[in-house]
Amino acid sequence: MSVELFVQYLFAGITYGAIYAIVAIGFNIIYNTTGIINFAQGEFVMLGGMISISLLPFMPLYAAIALAVLMTMLFGALLEICFIRWLESPGVLRMIIITIGLSILTREAALHLWGESIRSLPYFIGDEITTVAILGARISPQVLWVIAVCGLMVLFLSVFFQATSVGREMKACAANRRAAILCGINTRNMVTLSFMLSAGIGALAGCVMSPITSSGYDIGTGLAIKGFTVAILGGLGNSMAAVGAGLLLGILEAFSISVVPLAFKDAIAITILLLILFVRPHGLFGSSTAAGLKEF
Amino acid sequence: MKHRSVLFVIAVLVLSLAIIPAASAETIKIGAILAVTGPASFLGGPEARTLEMLVEQTNAAGGINGQKVELIIKDSGANPEKAISFAKQLIEEEKVVVVLGPSTSGETMKIKKIFEEAGTPLVSCAAAEVIVNPVAQYVFKTPQKDSYAAQKIFETMKTLGISKIAVLAGNTGFGKAGKEQLIKLAPEMGITVVEAEVYDAKSTDLSAVVAKIKANKDVQAVVNWSIVPAQAIVAKNMRQAGWDVPLFQSHGFGNIKYVEAAGAAAEGIIFPAGRLLVAEQLPTGHPQKALLMEYIAAYESKYKEAASTFGGHAYDAYIVAKAAIEKAGTDKAKIRDEIEKIKNLPGTGGIFSFTADDHNGLDIDSFEMITVKDGQFVPYKGM
Amino acid sequence: MKKLLPLAALIVFVIVIQKMTGWTDTRFYLTQLTMAAYYALLIVGLCVVMGYAGQISLGHAGFFAIGGYVSAALTTINLIAYQDRVVIRMLDGFGLLVAGQDIYGDAILVVAPWAACIAAVVCAGTTAWVLGIPVLKLKGHYLAMATLGFGIIIYRIVLASAVFGEADGISEVPPLPLLPGLTVSGDFGMREENYYIAWGMLIIGMILLRNLIDSRVGRALRSIHGSEEAAESTGVNTARFKLKVFVLSAVFAAVAGVFLTHYNGGIGPSEASVMKSVRYVAIVAVGGMAHLWGALIMGIVLNFLSLRGVFGSYDDAVFGFILIVIMLFAPNGILSLNWRGYFLGLFRRSGQTEETGRAIDGTP
């Protein structure tokens, strides 16, 4: 394999991986504060892209993106307040089914609102054929945008959870909910906040990836499945592990096509994942003792 | 409690049995099975809208032979099992005289036998050649044959001196049928397929596979045979990789939205398609021109979106059925016979002339080679 | 005796419906009722896995697809080109192959439908067994992921393999003769017998499952759902029971897949999709996790309505809506609501004794 081809595959892999990682982090944020997996996570990504595209005719690009992210955060908060907040200690299965239902409803609403056609945001720099050369490989500047924005989000989140008081309160909820309540933290508000946060990062990812991948009403499900896979692979609740697992899966997928037909890509990727899961039932980077403390 | 639950079902089912649609003798019932939602909604959506518009027009003009047309659209979501259920429902329950659709080849193949058995004509909007080859008595289709599209592409390649190509196809029935035709016809035309890959209909980035085929220095041109939105991504990823070999597409590219999605990367794409896309540039007096302009104007003013060849397939299916019903009335066997007798009927996809052996009715001239210039479709005039 | 009452009611109901469609000349309803019965067969199997063994499976469409696709592929792949090979001759010698003509008059040699059917079910059962050993050790979201992953793998394989017809699926699958004069086929003329075949299978399935639930294994199952640790401590081998139930439900799914494929005359990749698996899980949940009858009723009603297209383009939306409403307001299923009081009021009967159904209700 030539250096050029290697770099080309690598960048393709990092692009997929960065997007998977962001969705997986969204899963983890909500999982940490509530112990539930929000299958509507992929729909946040879809909404970010679709709303910003609809807003674009009325305002500059960055304003449209900012507003779209805010609106999606609001939507995330509403979902939590209307459907989740008032449930008394719901079981895992019940929550899986409710969030799947929300995901289906959001998608169908998007279909009837925006129609079945695909759209995309314009490229932030240049257009569809602008490229930059790196080590002989050529990639779109938008790829760098995606990687940079995803990287910044990860950085922001780690600072947020470690250095701000709100972030630390959220972490406290994750560690021990009852203890957090006893310390005077309003855990319910923390849960709403976690939905807003994960909707926000999902929506932002949806905006930056839109020029490359296009946005359509039905992109959410696929992303949710990949994000869930990555979250599990990394070990549920561990956002940094999700970044590692996301990049690993993305790069694995990109390089896999040099040996197997593209059509079998997903089958291969998931088979490997299952094998990993059987050997390490709590994810690649998760520890079984930590997982044992969590309620499933 | 349990037997009362059973009572509950009885109640529900009795209720649904009670909702028997009132049959009215005055209308001509036409059924349609289309993938309005689901993975093939980009086909079924425009098809359903086109049919609704046409039936409205027909009824406003007094119907067919003085009888109003009643259109029953069933949304299969591209699920074959639903298509099967709906086919039986339309035939037996609604007693339709003809069924238009389905949108995809897989569904059409599964309901073919039902229509043969029930003696009801089916005019499919799906592309695969196997639908009408070998010929089944009651099954017709309106989209042009894949083999003609492949031939047209190969002919153009020859004029450009291209002999080694890569084939990319989407994993839908359309992509599958096209890939098979390309690989089958290539040797006859003196062309070698050196790379072939199938990508997922929901792909979001194909730069890795583009890099893979680009690494094969023999490739002189790429044929991307697909009908899904992801096909625009192939164009973008190729140009982003700085690869400028000619990119050929199939007639599945016949929607201006795909050009918009590919943006600057769409420039110079060459593909065969019906003349709907270049209606304005057709010489006046071309038999299809007036009809195409009228359809495009009506569709675009009604639905505020660009007309595509996909909606065109439904248009053709409808006018074929309508022409036959005008002659045969509501006798299903007679309608079938009349469809076979249709000669020189201009439609959006070409001029239809059916025979007992040809249930597609279009010849290779129904395709025009088209290219993209400044974000618009224009006829291809050589390089 | 009481246990037999609902089953007897179901049998009466099945016969009454068929007679009613005959009297009112609406036999066409039987088509969708037949199809819905096969889906319900899968759903009651899944109900036992979810409600009684407490395991979620987001990959049951995969088993349905293994059944349907294996049987369809074996009965449609023409072996005439290989008829001189030793293997094919051996198969022929055992009477496993049938020769015939396709609708275009070409000679074909395919695996006999009954042999293909058995092969398909064995195949699905074996897959479930091999998969179940490691998968059922997982818990919660990890179990959900593993079963979801299995479903996706099956979907990808059928979508990418030429033998399974890629995106088009497999068409022209021959009828499946069961007994002389009893054939699984979608022909208009065989509608009544196919209705009875489908519902017969469903009733047999229900009897099997009821016996399973009431057996010693069944009591163990209920204990798993309650507390695995407690069950283990009383000497119940929960892992073995979980696996047994998982394999059994996969067999149910595969049988449904085989029969429906032969009834429809074909199968497409949408039968293996994740959405289908999600649908099955949701129907079980809506019916009430540990309510075999609830799952059966919802399986029939929702599939019947969906297959008739009553929701039009809002099929998925209506479905998502029902899902959320039931899960929010009646997490133990639609039948856990106060239907009893409602019906009691309706029929004004008194002296009704409480049945056991309530005891096995559980919050997930």
Host H or E run for residue C324: helix C315-329
Of residues B318 and C7, the one with the higher pLDDT is B318
Same domain? For B71 and B161 the reply is no
CATH number for the domain spanning B61: value is: 3.40.50.2300
Put simply, the answer to whether A139 touches B207 (Cβ < 8 Å) is yes
Q: How far apart are the first and last CA of chain C?
A: 30
Q: Which residue of A has its CA nearest to B46?
A: A116
- On the question of pLDDT at A293 being above 70, the answer is no
3 state SS of B158: helix
Chain A / chain B CB contacts < 8 angstroms: 115
**Nearest neighbour of A270 by CB, restricted to C137, C153, C317:** C153
**Nearest neighbour of C160 by CB, restricted to B85, B171, B177:** B171
Q: What average pLDDT does this structure show over A167-179?
A: 81
Spatial contact of C34 and C263, defined as CB atoms under 8 Å apart: yes
Per-residue pLDDT at C359: 35
Of residues A174 and A202, the one with the higher pLDDT is A202
Q: Which two tokens stand for residue C148?
A: 């979801």
Per-residue pLDDT at B1: 45
Per-residue pLDDT at A93: 79
Same domain? For B133 and B52 the reply is yes
> Which among B217, B238, B273 is the end of a domain?
B273
For residue range B297-341, list pLDDT tens digits in order: 999 999 988 898 899 999 999 999 999 999 998 899 999 999 999
- On the question of pLDDT at C347 being above 80, the answer is no
Per-residue pLDDT at B201: 82
Per-residue pLDDT at B122: 96
Rounded CA-CA distance A72/C134 in Å is 39
- On the question of pLDDT at A266 being above 90, the answer is no
Same domain? For B296 and B323 the reply is yes
Put simply, the answer to whether C142 touches A221 (Cβ < 8 Å) is no
Spatial contact of B220 and B183, defined as CB atoms under 8 Å apart: no
User: Can you give the pTM of this predicted structure?
Assistant: 0.89
**Nearest neighbour of A129 by CB, restricted to B211, B229, B240:** B240
Q: Which regions of chain C does DSSP assign to beta strands (E)? A: 97-101, 107-111, 170-171, 176-179, 182-184, 266-267
Per-residue pLDDT at B2: 47
- On the question of pLDDT at A286 being above 70, the answer is no
Put simply, the answer to whether A101 touches C282 (Cβ < 8 Å) is yes
* DSSP-derived secondary structure letter, C332: T
For residue range A43-88, list pLDDT tens digits in order: 999 999 999 999 999 999 999 999 999 999 999 999 999 988 888 7
- On the question of pLDDT at C196 being above 70, the answer is yes
Q: What average pLDDT does this structure show over B340-358?
A: 92
- On the question of pLDDT at C301 being above 80, the answer is yes
Task: Confirm whether B310 is domain-assigned.
Answer: yes
Per-residue pLDDT at C257: 96
If DSSP states are collapsed to H, E and C, what string results for A111-126?
HHHHCCCCECCCCCCC
Task: Confirm whether B21 is domain-assigned.
Answer: no
**Angle at B127 (CA atoms; ends B126, B128), nearest 5 degrees:** 110
Same domain? For B30 and B138 the reply is yes
Q: What average pLDDT does this structure show over A36-40?
A: 88
Same domain? For B185 and B255 the reply is yes
Number of H helices, E strands in chain C: 14, 6
Q: Which strand ranges, in their side-by-side order, compose the sheet holding B98-100?
A: B69-75, B28-34, B98-100, B122-124, B139-141
- On the question of pLDDT at A118 being above 70, the answer is yes
Task: Confirm whether B107 is domain-assigned.
Answer: yes
Q: Which residue of C has its CA nearest to A106?
A: C317
Contact status of B5 with chain C (Cβ, < 8 Å): yes
Put simply, the answer to whether A270 touches C152 (Cβ < 8 Å) is yes
For residue range C68-86, list pLDDT tens digits in order: 999 999 999 888 778 778 8
Of residues B70 and C79, the one with the higher pLDDT is B70
Rounded CA-CA distance C245/B161 in Å is 63
| Residue C346, CB-side half-sphere exposure with 13 Å CA sphere | 10
Same domain? For B131 and B150 the reply is no
Same domain? For B100 and B199 the reply is no
Same domain? For B134 and B32 the reply is yes
The CATH code that applies to domain A3-293 is 1.10.3470
Spatial contact of A234 and A241, defined as CB atoms under 8 Å apart: yes
Task: Give me the helices (H) in chain A, please.
Answer: 3-34, 41-55, 61-79, 92-114, 141-163, 165-175, 177-182, 187-213, 219-234, 239-256, 265-279, 288-293
**Nearest neighbour of C28 by CB, restricted to B5, B89, B176:** B89
Number of C-beta neighbours around residue C14 at 10 A? 19
- Domains of chain B: total: 2
Task: Confirm whether B94 is domain-assigned.
Answer: yes
Confidence of residue A97 (pLDDT cuts 50, 70, 90): confident
Put simply, the answer to whether B207 touches A8 (Cβ < 8 Å) is yes
Per-residue pLDDT at A292: 43
Write phi, then psi, for A8 (nearest 5 degrees): -60, -45
Q: Which two tokens stand for residue C107?
A: 């000679």
- On the question of pLDDT at A288 being above 70, the answer is no
Same domain? For B54 and B82 the reply is yes
- Look at residues A165, A204, A222, A213 and name the one whose alpha carbon lies nearest to residue A42: A222
Task: Confirm whether B14 is domain-assigned.
Answer: no
Contact residues on chain B for C166, CB-CB shorter than 8 A? 171, 173, 176, 198
Same domain? For B78 and B192 the reply is no
Domain range for B268: 146-273
In chain C, the domains with their CATH numbers are 4-71+113-360 (1.10.3470)
ipTM score for this prediction: 0.87
Task: Confirm whether B324 is domain-assigned.
Answer: yes
Q: How far apart, in Å, are the Cα atoms of A228 and each of A25, A195, B23, C80? A: 9, 16, 50, 46
Q: What average pLDDT does this structure show over B27-34?
A: 93
Q: What average pLDDT does this structure show over A182-196?
A: 87
Put simply, the answer to whether C355 touches B1 (Cβ < 8 Å) is yes
Host H or E run for residue C6: helix C4-23
Q: What average pLDDT does this structure show over A76-102?
A: 86
